[in-house]
Amino acid sequence: MREYLKELIVTLVIAFVLSMVLRTWIIEGRSVPTGSMLPTIQLKDRLLVNKLVYHFKDPQRGDIMVFRPPDQIGATDDFVKRLIAVPGDKVEIKKGQLYINDKVQPESYLTAAMNYEFGPVVVPANSYFVMGDNRNNSFDSHLWGAWLTRDHLIGKAFCIYWPFDHVQALKR
């Protein structure tokens, strides 16, 4: 019995340490508290976030990212948004259309045209321009007056795992 108890404790400690390592540095579950990413991500969906990916490669346009918001906007909760533009890109919104480097961007995931104008602006080095898919109801780069910098990135959301009827891989 004593040997069994010792083995059980060692197993539990190893499982705990592994889960903490996974959650802290590799993969993490996140809940979505707002509707800013509708229709792609629903309110209260749970996401899996790859926390390693941006240590090995640069973020790509279309990635759904989890990040700490820029300090200047005063928000404390982490955000989930789509990466729209990378360093050096020119961003403009006119007549309900998104333009990156003077080219209209196809955005099949949107359900409504944007009802505002923005830019043009050029994304600075080491910075990113992000927007929610629910463009007319999203607190994002077009409103902040601040840039999202690389040091605020947490990871790339790659799938919805809850609720079960909404399980899916997230695509660009």
Q: Which domain holds residue 91?
A: 29-169
Q: Would 1 be classed as within a structural domain? A: no
Known catalytic membership, residue 81: yes
Q: What is the dihedral of CA 135, 140, 141, 147, to 10 degrees?
A: -160
Say what the pLDDT of residue 3 is.
Answer: 84
Q: How far apart are CA 131 and CA 98, in angstroms?
A: 11
Contact at 8 Å (CB) between 30 and 157?
yes
Q: Which amino acid is at 36?
A: S
At 94 the three-state DSSP class reads strand
Q: Would 162 be classed as within a structural domain? A: yes
Contact at 8 Å (CB) between 44 and 32?
yes
Q: Would 53 be classed as within a structural domain? A: yes
Using pLDDT thresholds of 50, 70 and 90, give the confidence band for residue 101: very high
Alpha helices in the chain (DSSP H): 2-21, 53-56, 141-144
Q: Would 112 be classed as within a structural domain? A: yes
Mean pLDDT of 134-160: 94
Q: In terms of DSSP bridges, do strands 118-122 and 103-104 run parallel, antiparallel, or are they unpaired?
A: unpaired
**pLDDT tens string 114-132:** 999 998 999 999 999 999 9
Contact at 8 Å (CB) between 153 and 59?
yes
Q: Output the pTM of the full model.
A: 0.88
**pLDDT tens string 9-21:** 877 788 787 777 6
Q: Would 56 be classed as within a structural domain? A: yes
Q: With 70 as the cut, is the pLDDT of residue 105 above it?
A: yes
Report percent pLDDT > 70 for the chain.
Answer: 97
> Residue 56's domain is classified under what CATH number?
2.10.109.10
Q: Would 12 be classed as within a structural domain? A: no
Q: Would 21 be classed as within a structural domain? A: no
Catalytic residue among 51, 81, 127, 141: 81
Who's near 71: CB < 8 A, 6+ residues apart?
146
Catalytic residue among 6, 19, 31, 36: 36
**pLDDT tens string 33-51:** 899 999 999 999 999 999 9
Mean pLDDT of 44-65: 95
- Number of structural domains (the chain) is 1
Q: Would 37 be classed as within a structural domain? A: yes
What is the maximum alpha-carbon separation in the chain?
A: 74
Known catalytic membership, residue 90: no
